[in-house]
Amino acid sequence: MADADLRAQQALAARTVRGLAMDAVQAAESGHPGMPMGMADAAVVLFTEFLRYDPAAPGWPDRDRFVLSAGHGSMLLYSLLHLTGYEDMPMEEIENFRQWGSRTAGHPESFLARGIETTTGPLGQGISNAVGMALAEKHLAAVFNTAEHEVVDHYTYVIASDGDLMEGVSNEASSLAGHLRLGKLVVLWDDNHVSIDGPTELAFTEDVLGRYAALGWHTQGPVDGHDMDAVAKALETARAVSDKPSIIACRTTIGYGAPNKGGTAAAHGEPLGEEELRKAKENLGIPLEPRFLVPEETRRFMGQAACERAASHARWEETFAAWREANPEKARLWDRVHARELPDGWDDDLPEFEPSEKGMATRAASGKVLGVLWERLPELVGGSADLTPSNKTRADGALDFTDAAPEGRYLRFGVREHAMGAICNGITLHGGLRAFGGTFLIFSDYMKPAVRLSALSGVPCLWIYTHDSIGLGEDGPTHQPVEQLAGLRAIPHLYVVRPCDANETREAWKLALMRTDAPTALALTRQNVPTLDRTTYTSAEGLHRGAYVLSDCDGAAEGQLPDVLLLATGSEVHLALEAQALLEAEGVAARVVSMPCWERFREQDQAYRDEVLPPEVTARVAVEAAHPLGWHEWVGAGGAVVGLTRFGASAPYEAIYEHLGITAEAVAEAARHQLAGGRGPVGTPSPEPNPEPAADEER
């Protein structure tokens, strides 16, 4: 048991956190005061007795990670960062909670302030990110530690809410964490029995700790989350369990101290109101004025606690210096991967694919490129959501990451797409590694929240999506993506790259790996596509500009503009080339533009974009075996799009393309219609509607 003076100082700090949370939410006239008020005691114990961090060096690689998965309670984290002296969190930021331009957003955003390890708020994401961080720690320890020096040895702590544990993604990630025995992952569950709708018993009555025990976790509680001795003892016990992740149920009162709203949903997601705030402060012994009060005694105590916690950083630096001297090769690798730099020559002699009419699926080409990169980039880790043979995500000879082999880099995510996305985000955010995850493009919907957060937070994960269209054939419309490309392209900062052949696929990998501040999604075919002869067509390196002239019309060298532009991505580029030949036989000058990455093309200067898509040429046709949404940015309001506005069908893919009108002739006919002065997609065969469901009596 800690001495009485320490507990008294911690209690005052917890009251200060509660006061800051109440005041900030009230000033903003929005926010969630209840969770910070309820978890203040446990969080102060964690930050003053257990968590290793250094406010003067927030990026210290061997710091403990703290994830506030219950991101709605963001004022808990902001208050603690302020009290422990993080430079990015002065009082002005606390006072400007939820205001334009402040670092104190409604939910923590990792790119706004140092000390925020990951962007949370969408429930379940933070705890799942933390699984990735703990996995990264375990792998990097196996790679870099030596018998003489341990330079990777830290914990990942989480505060999670009832809502976090309701979300399916947290169960997916927790299941994998238990399977992998991530013993340095410790979750404090804010077991306050309240959600926005009211008591959790309205919808959440399972034995949560029993569930986690079944998932392979060490469980404790419920403990009194307001009893600092009990919380400290539980944390000590959890840290002593090295072969299982730990969860501690902390029984708390949401809105602790508020006389009327405490313990109710009214404290969850709205300001307490001036009268309730006044009474809560009186209950807690907090002066009514000034607002945003931090007693000097608390400021000194928390500053001293931060210095004590940071002392482990100084000790680590000594160990690290000795390790560096003894292990210069490992040290060079450490420096490179933590700086997210690629080694010299990393892209030399990547596979060059010979011209072939039969060609290969772009997923197969991706697998071959990955096989070479796997040997050159030891920071590359990842896997598939139980689709490894289909996604081609495992290099020959790759070692699986397991409890017994944490040096392994291939991750068996199981059928857990959503957790895969969130875990990959956590791995990459941890530092020292770049993570990728693979599944079918249709199942990108299962992981969309994690993909969105990778884009929002600037996390350079690589998403490998195969079976990218109706071209997957017989598996039918349940597995054939139609609207997915449009949905992914709508996510800001996400590159969506759909290469047309094997060599564009090689360049897509290069583009993705050189991008260190945002994610990239590759959309790859199941079916074979021709490998283009690049002595006839433009180099695949054009992919790096997002779009490029793949095949120009006769006379282009003399400055002749084409009569019509044919735009395409992926497998449909080959239909555009066939349509070009049909049109040229009729005397029509057509240009084929491969547009594998719209987002990259938008970043090019206007001169280049006009060079590829001359404004003077208004006759334009796009073709893509997907929903047309978005294409009119490139073909213009009057341009034509040969695409899909219905679901696919179960049949050999050649038959599906023919029946649904995604053909070279359809592209040529749309071009003819454009040149005759037509607008829009008139001239494209109208696809038959999806069949009506059978009448009940026929079922």
- Per-residue pLDDT of 526-557, as tens digits, reads 999 999 999 999 999 999 999 999 999 998 88
- Residue 696's pLDDT band, with cuts at 50, 70 and 90, is very low
Tell me which of 3.40.50.2300, 3.40.50.970, 3.40.50.10490, 1.10.357.10 is the CATH number of domain 356-530. 3.40.50.970
Token duo for residue 50 = 């257990």
- All CATH 3.40.50.920 domain ranges of the chain, comma separated, are 546-675
pLDDT in tens, 397-429: 999 999 999 999 999 999 999 999 999 999 999
- All CATH 3.40.50.970 domain ranges of the chain, comma separated, are 4-313, 356-530
User: What pTM, to 2 d.p., does this model score?
Assistant: 0.96
SS3 624: coil
Catalytic residue among 49, 109, 167, 417: 417
Token duo for residue 633 = 């940015």
- In angstroms, the CA 334 to CA 327 distance is 10
Distance of CA 571 to the CA centre of its chain: 27
Closest CA to 287 of 299, 277, 300: 277
SS3 263: coil
Mean pLDDT of 148-164: 98
- In angstroms, the CA 459 to CA 132 distance is 13
Mean pLDDT of 186-200: 97
pLDDT in tens, 425-443: 999 999 999 999 999 999 9
Q: Can 417 be counted among the known catalytic residues?
A: yes
CATH class of the domain defined by 546-675: alpha beta
- In angstroms, the CA 358 to CA 337 distance is 39
Distance of CA 287 to the CA centre of its chain: 43
> What is the third-level CATH fold of 4-313?
Rossmann fold (3.40.50)
CB 463 within 8 A of CB 216: no
pLDDT in tens, 362-373: 999 999 999 999
pLDDT in tens, 374-396: 999 999 999 999 999 999 999 99
Token duo for residue 693 = 């469901």
Distance of CA 296 to the CA centre of its chain: 40
Question: In whole numbers, what is the pLDDT of the chain averaged over residues?
Answer: 96
pLDDT given for residue 691 in this prediction: 54
- In angstroms, the CA 248 to CA 237 distance is 10
Beta-strand (E) ranges in 121-217?
A: 156-161, 185-191, 194-195, 198-199
Rounded to the nearest 10 degrees, the angle between the axes of helix 34-45 and helix 4-28 is: 150
pLDDT given for residue 678 in this prediction: 79
| DSSP labels, 415-445 | S-HHHHHHHHHHHHHHSS-EEEEEEEGGGGG
pLDDT given for residue 679 in this prediction: 73
Mean pLDDT of 485-510: 98
